[in-house]
Amino acid sequence: MRSWIGILAILVVMATAASAQEFYVRNKPFRDVMVVGGQAFVSVEAFLKAAGYAWSTSGDAVVLQQGQGGGPHLENPDLRLKLGTRTAAIQGTNRGGDVYVPLRDTAKFIGYAVTVNSETGIVDVAQAHLISANEEKAAKEVAEARSARDKQLKEAWEKRLEQIKEARAAKEAAEEEESEDEDEAADADEDADADEDADKSDKSTKSTKSSKSTKSSKSTKATATSTEDNPDLDASDKDKDLKSYDEDKDGKDLKSYDEDKDGKEATSYDEDKDGKDLKSYDEDKDGKTLASSEDKVEPEKPKEANLVIVSRDAAPNLATGEVTMTAAVQNQGYADARNVRATVKLVGPDGRTWWSRTLYYPGLLKEDEQWNIQSTYRHPAQGAMPRGNLEFKVDLAYDKK
């Protein structure tokens, strides 16, 4: 009685575990499954038929061949499977007169992959792609070509980096030399202005002294002439100041050549009729200094970063369904890039996006620095992933301020 209870408990556990998952072989539902201790077992005969294999026995070996038709009934749970030149020992168990074998070991031997979707509970068994010698050779050649290309890109970038540094150094030297020339020109202009002011001051002083000397000489001569020409003048007349030629008949001082008829000083050529200084050609009507063409300096353009994707690649492993994605981003600009981010996508042969993610560069991506991106994606079908061209897309963004 107790043994029957134990058997029933095992069957309930098996049924519950099996019902929690749905099994598919080559996209068709597969029912001959039992789960023990988290491991799935399948009826070997039903599984081989669903996978498209026929079998025959040769001694203690079960020889497999691709094709429909099935084979003799298998009773021994200790199986030695043979496919071509390969063999594998599979330890099974008897259940209800059939031999049940571990699903993963048996599927792997015949070139199938088992994919478990934990969210939906679907277990999919699909044919994996077996790597042939030619494919392995081709993969090696592709890897070598990729390595050579990466090396070439690296050498080209290093050469370009040297050119950028040399051009930058030459530009800085030219700017420094131009700044020195401007400073020297400004100093020369200041010295010339100072010399011109000094010359004007000397000329003004000499003119004033000459005018005063001329007036004094003329006055003295006039006095002497008047005395000599009139010897009969009495003493009182002699004691009086003789009218100099600088006075008119009314006793008023004659206007000097430096004064106009109103007693005001004559306006110099530097002044207009109202006595105001004439505006120099360097000033406009509002008194503002006009800027010369040399003073007009175009504003310097702000320096910006320039992010360039120099390489990107998606390398699939068809045996495991793993895709390795790599990309190299370089800052070839003249400023640091802040908050650099890359939105990466893996697009499958069917044109659908298999995987997408946004990656961030830590800190500032400085001038001439490179960001190496690497990510890995695993296809749910593993070795049964679709074949075809994969596209790895990279969209870059950064804060310009």
Domain final position from 66, 96, 127: 127
* Of the candidates 318, 368, 395, 272, the residue with the CA atom closest to the CA atom of residue 127: 318
| 132-136, 143-147, 300-304, 312-316: least confident range | 132-136
Position 110 in a domain:
yes
Which one of 148, 171, 200 terminates a domain?
200
Whether residue 57 is found in the same domain as residue 118: yes
> Does residue 297 belong to any structural domain of this protein?
no
* Residues 156-188: tens digit of each pLDDT: 888 888 888 888 888 888 888 888 877 777 777
Q: Is 63 within 8 Å of 88 (Cβ atoms)?
A: no
Q: Is residue 363 located within the same domain as residue 326?
A: yes
Asked if residue 123 and residue 8 are part of one domain, the reply reads yes
Shared domain check, 190 and 108: no
User: Do 148 and 109 fall within a single domain?
Assistant: no
The pair phi, psi for residue 72, each rounded to 5°, is -65, 160
Checking if the pLDDT of 40 tops 90, the result is yes
Helix (H, G, I), strand (E, B) or coil at 375: strand
- Per-residue pLDDT for 301 more than 60? yes
Give the pLDDT score at 264. 52
Look at residue 210 and tell me whether its pLDDT is greater than 60. Answer: no
Q: Indicate whether 22 pLDDT > 80.
A: yes
Q: Is residue 7 domain-shared with residue 103, that is, in the same domain?
A: yes
- Mark whether 109 and 9 lie in a shared domain: yes
97/114 same-domain check: yes
Which element (helix H / strand E) includes 55? strand 53-58
Task: Identify any residues that bridge with 63 across adjacent strands, giving them in sequence order.
Answer: 56, 82
Listed range (256-270, 301-315, 328-342) with the worst mean pLDDT: 256-270
Residue 359 has pLDDT above 90, yes or no: yes
Distance of CA 52 to the CA centre of its chain: 53
Q: How much is the pLDDT for 243?
A: 47
Question: Which range (20-24, 127-131, 346-350) has the least confidence?
Answer: 127-131
Gap between the Cα atoms of 375 and 394, Å rounded:
12
| pLDDT for position 286 | 54
The Cα–Cα gap between 133 and 149 comes to: 24
Distance, in Å, from the CA atom of 85 to the CA atom of 64, rounded to the nearest integer, reads 11
224 assigned to some structural domain: no
Instruction: Note the pLDDT of residue 171.
Output: 87
Domain annotation covers residue 358:
yes
Does 20 reside within a domain? yes
Average pLDDT over residues 286-310: 66
Instruction: Please say if the pLDDT value at position 33 is more than 80.
Output: yes
Highest mean pLDDT among 142-146, 173-177, 253-257, 263-267: 173-177
How many domains are there within the chain?
Answer: 3
pLDDT at 294 over 60: no
**Residue after which a domain boundary falls, among 183, 200, 217:** 200
Give the closest residue to 126 by CA, choosing from 383, 328, 337: 383
User: For residue 193, is it within any domain?
Assistant: yes
Q: Which pLDDT score is estimated for 346?
A: 95
pLDDT of 58 above 60: yes
Q: 173 and 63, same structural domain? A: no
Q: What is the pLDDT of residue 119?
A: 77
Q: Average pLDDT of 213-233?
A: 48
- For tokens 């420094």, what's the residue? 176
Mean pLDDT of the chain, nearest integer: 75
Co-location of 44 and 97 in the same domain: yes
The answer on 146 and 121 residing in a single domain is no
Percentage with pLDDT > 90 across the chain = 26
Decide if 244 is inside a domain. no
Domain of 385, CATH number, reads: 2.60.40.10
Across the range 258-267, mean pLDDT stands at 50
pLDDT at 143 over 80: no
User: Within 10 Å of residue 34's Cβ, how many Cβ atoms?
Assistant: 20
Same structural domain for residues 53 and 119? yes
d(CA 283, CA 288): 5
Q: Which of 3-12, 207-216, 260-269, 296-305 has the highest mean pLDDT?
A: 296-305
Residue 70: inside a domain, yes or no? yes
Give 114-119 contacts, CB < 8 A, sequence gap 24+.
Answer: 114/382, 115/380, 115/381, 115/382, 115/384, 116/21, 117/380
Range of the domain at 326: 305-399
Give the pLDDT band (50/70/90) at residue 201: low
